[in-house]
């Protein structure tokens, strides 16, 4: 996982290249529809990261210090 590219942003977990282990997980053969996701949210009360943090930015360099402090450290 990761990158050695000069434009990789280590604070976002883009580098350095490293070996990681993850727990097994399932991947569906098809994409999730909006209706399916709505049903999932209604059944579980799931809140997306974008809803939790008030934005869906991935690039941490654009986040406010407050959002950086409350965001996951990936």
Structural domain includes residue 4: no
Structural domain includes residue 3: no
For residues 17 and 1, the answer to whether their CB atoms sit within 8 Å is: yes
Q: Return the pLDDT at 45.
A: 96
Domain that holds residue 40: 10-70
Q: Return the pLDDT at 42.
A: 96
> Can you spell out the DSSP letters for 1-48?
-----TT--GGGT--S------------SSPPPHHHHHHHHHHH----
| Count of domains forming the chain | 1
Structural domain includes residue 18: yes
Q: Return the pLDDT at 59.
A: 67
Q: For residue range 33-72, what is the model confidence (pLDDT) as tens digits?
A: 999 999 999 999 999 988 887 777 666 677 778 877 776 6
Token pair 């569906």 is found at 28
Q: What pTM, to 2 d.p., does this model score?
A: 0.45
In this prediction, residue 24 has a pLDDT band, given cuts at 50, 70 and 90, of: very high
**Token pair of 58 as six digits:** 């991935």
Structural domain includes residue 43: yes
């Amino acid at each position: 996982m990761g990158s050695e590219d000069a434009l990789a942003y280590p604070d976002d977990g883009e580098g350095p290249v490293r070996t990681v282990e993850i727990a097994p997980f399932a991947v569906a053969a098809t994409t999730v529809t909006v209706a399916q996701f709505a049903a999932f949210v209604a059944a579980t009360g799931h809140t997306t990261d974008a809803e939790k943090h008030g934005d869906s930015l991935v690039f941490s360099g654009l986040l406010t210090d407050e959002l950086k402090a409350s965001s996951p450290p990936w």
